[in-house]
């Protein structure tokens, strides 16, 4: 799918590596020479998120002292990664749907239509079909985003990856003198369910490397 321009929806629990997948798609695509721009939709309130995505004109709201480009414009010719898409309000979902359909939008407070060429990758740990049935997510937006879906299984369902990830993180945090992992420690780490997935495993390895005597 990286070689196409199709919109991708990456699903999986927190910490499974959804942004890593998004970056891998971008860096293996014809757009790799252009920007990869990421937005965490859960990190901003609706009013700020709209401005973050589409930009705003001077005077559009209190504090808008200058015209500002949004992430869609910054990602022109490249890839826009929308993380935690399930937290977006219904009103903003409508505006996002239009931007995806028309490849065009207006800045907040502006009247000029801006056209862009952006490949969108969205990610969520929320059950979007369930949210659709509850009226919390637009069905038409779901199908616009879910042209191609990549589902990341939790770490507990791919335990064979744990030794490889541990080795990678050990080398990352102690590149000059990577410590040896005992068989007992490896068995314990293989048996643990890792509710925080790869992010939690990375944290545990970094802490162990830091605290070793």
pLDDT tens-digit readout, 26-70:
999 999 999 999 999 999 988 899 999 999 989 878 788 899 899
Residue-averaged pLDDT of the chain = 95
Averaged pLDDT, 75-93: 97
> Does the structure show a pLDDT above 70 at 213?
no
How far is residue 141's CA from residue 95's CA, in Å, rounded to a whole number? 10
Averaged pLDDT, 93-106: 96
Model confidence band, residue 137 (pLDDT cutoffs 50, 70, 90) = very high
Handedness of CA 200, 203, 209, 213 (dihedral sign): negative
pLDDT of residue 2: 96
pLDDT of residue 212: 79
> Does the structure show a pLDDT above 90 at 97?
yes
Say whether 196 sits in a helix, a strand or coil: coil
Averaged pLDDT, 65-79: 94
> Does the structure show a pLDDT above 90 at 173?
yes
HSE (CB half, 13 Å, CA atoms) of 125?
A: 14
């Amino acid at each position: 799918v990286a070689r196409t321009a199709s919109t991708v929806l990456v699903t999986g629990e927190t910490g499974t590596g959804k942004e890593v997948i998004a970056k891998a798609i971008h860096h293996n695509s014809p757009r790799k020479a252009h920007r990869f721009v990421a937005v965490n939709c859960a990190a901003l309130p609706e009013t700020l998120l709209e401005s973050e995505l589409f930009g705003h004109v001077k005077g559009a709201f209190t504090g808008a002292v200058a015209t500002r480009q949004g992430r869609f414009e910054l990602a022109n010719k490249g890839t826009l990664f929308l993380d935690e898409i399930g937290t977006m309000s219904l009103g903003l979902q409508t505006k996002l749907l239009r931007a995806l359909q028309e490849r065009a939008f207006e800045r907040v407070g502006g009247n000029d239509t801006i056209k862009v060429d952006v490949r969108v990758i969205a990610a969520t740990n929320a059950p979007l079909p369930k949210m659709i049935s509850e009226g919390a997510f637009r069905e038409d937006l779901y199908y616009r985003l879910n042209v191609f879906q990549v589902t990341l299984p939790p770490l507990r369902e791919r335990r064979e990856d744990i030794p490889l990830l541990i080795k990678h993180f050990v080398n990352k945090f102690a590149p000059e003198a990577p410590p040896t992992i005992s068989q007992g420690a490896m068995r314990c780490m293989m048996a643990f369910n890792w509710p925080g997935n790869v992010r939690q495993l990375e944290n545990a390895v970094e802490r162990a490397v830091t605290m070793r005597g």
